[in-house]
Amino acid sequence: MQKTSAYQSLVKTFQRLSRFSHLSSIASWDMFTMMPPGGSAARGEALAEMSVLQHQILTDKKVGDLLAAAAGEDLNDVEQANLREMTRQYQQATLLPESLVEAKSLAGSRCEHAWRTQRPANDWQGFSANLKEVVKLSREEARLRAEAKGCTPYDALLDIFEPDMTSARLDVLFGDMKTWLPDLLASAVEKQAQRSFVPPQGPFPTATQRELGLEAMKMLGFDFNGGRLDVSAHPFCGGVPEDVRITTRYDEDELLSALFGVIHETGHARYEQNLPRAWAGQPIALARSTAIHESQSLFFEMQLGRSEAFLKYLLPAVHARFGSQAAFSEENFIAWNQRVKPGYIRVDADEVSYPAHVVLRYEIERALINGEIEVDDIPALWDEKMQAWLGLSTKDNYRNGCMQDIHWTDGGFGYFPSYTLGAMYAAQLFHAAKTALPGLQSSIAEGDFSALFEWLRQNIWQHGSRFSTSQLITQATGEDLNIRYFREHLTSRYL
């Protein structure tokens, strides 16, 4: 009888973990979309129990022994990459005690559920009470991770979402952007002030908006046999590669926010649906990082979705659902979708002002986790940074200020930089795709995205976590992250 290798034993353990993660993901999706309010406490406890169970399996001493033994076995390149990702997951998990994993899960569920009613009510006092508990537990997690890694607390959390990224490197990237983005933003606003826009006239019934969103998903190759579209308080993409759940939110006075929210989440979903199934259930089959994930959603929403060629192709579907009003002339529809108008809400922001929302949150959350500020300091800092970047005040307007997102409710500190890193990667990837596919713009205008999506599949999707972020981008584009492409894209489209 053949002896099972250490590596084969690990594959079975991580397959089991993946199945529990699958159940947690679907239960979380249900909590955000379908669950009646009265189920919140029980669901939070069930999800916390699942988190503890997964933590127990992953941190078992046998797993550590198997990892050490597998390191000495004769493994091929793919198996070595999978072992690297297994080791990373194990090392990340063993830094945290079970009690902290459970407490953080419970606090996050409580905070997010309460946020759903506190945000519409502009109830900062109620929200901040729950957030303080989340921050306390997140700081404890950050301290434990930082002590093991020999870095700042914030960098320890950043590493969870974006391996090998540091706040020092972010400060260089964002510092570069600060030298040119404010002027570019001002110039774009000034240029657009010289023309008149016709705003779309509603109402736009939710059911019809949903039909348009589903049509856009179909255009963009979403596999409805392995996913669905629903409604939540904050748009997201969840589930698992075999069953991807995306959500949006509707406003019957505003058509394009929900539509482009769907297009954004479809970018996430296409990445998930095309991750390597041959390695399913293993860490190597997961998405590379949150910035690479955001690069895919912003590739779909901004690089492709807001392009002149795609908007021309999309317009007949808008006419079919909502008629031919003046706002839906080709010229106005393109101009309206490429408007640069600083606003309060990040998920509705144009791509020129969007990075301001991200840098603002990054600077606040870094100071918060590093213990330089407290939760009570957030509203004033938020207002100060919004005024400096976008000329808007959020004083006493918490619902459209520091309460607008859900990332902090569950302790997702370290995630926000991924959005602007993702925008930078998306610009670089689209530039590389245009170079590789000379007839791309013509194909997009005709609604033929097959070559573009095949290019993404070959260069990003099929690799999962086989390569580091740096290796993945270098192989796809010929160089590591270069902010030049993002600046050139914004200048070309808006100036």
CA angle 163, 166, 167 (to 5 degrees): 140
Q: Please give the single-letter amino acid code of residue 16.
A: R
Closest CA to 369 of 417, 401, 403: 417
246 near 269, Cβ under 8 Å? Answer: yes
In sequence order, the 6+-apart residues with CB closer than 8 A to the CB of 359 are 174, 177, 178, 389, 420
Question: What is the chain's percent helix, strand, coil content, to nearest 5?
Answer: 70, 5, 30
Q: Label residue 61 exposed, middle or buried (CB < 10 Å: 0-12, 13-18, 19+).
A: exposed
- The reply to whether omega before 37 is within 30° of 0 (cis) is no
Q: Which two tokens stand for residue 75?
A: 């493994």
What is the spatial order of strands in the sheet that 227-231 belongs to?
Answer: 227-231, 243-248, 237-240
Q: Please give the single-letter amino acid code of residue 320.
A: A
In sequence order, the 6+-apart residues with CB closer than 8 A to the CB of 83 are 7, 10, 67, 70, 71, 75
Specify the pairing of strand 237-240 against strand 227-231. unpaired
Look up residue 4 and give its DSSP letter: P
In sequence order, the 6+-apart residues with CB closer than 8 A to the CB of 316 are none
88 near 145, Cβ under 8 Å? Answer: no
In the block, which residue shows the tokens 């600083």?
342
Q: Please give the single-letter amino acid code of residue 348.
A: D
Catalytic residue set: 265
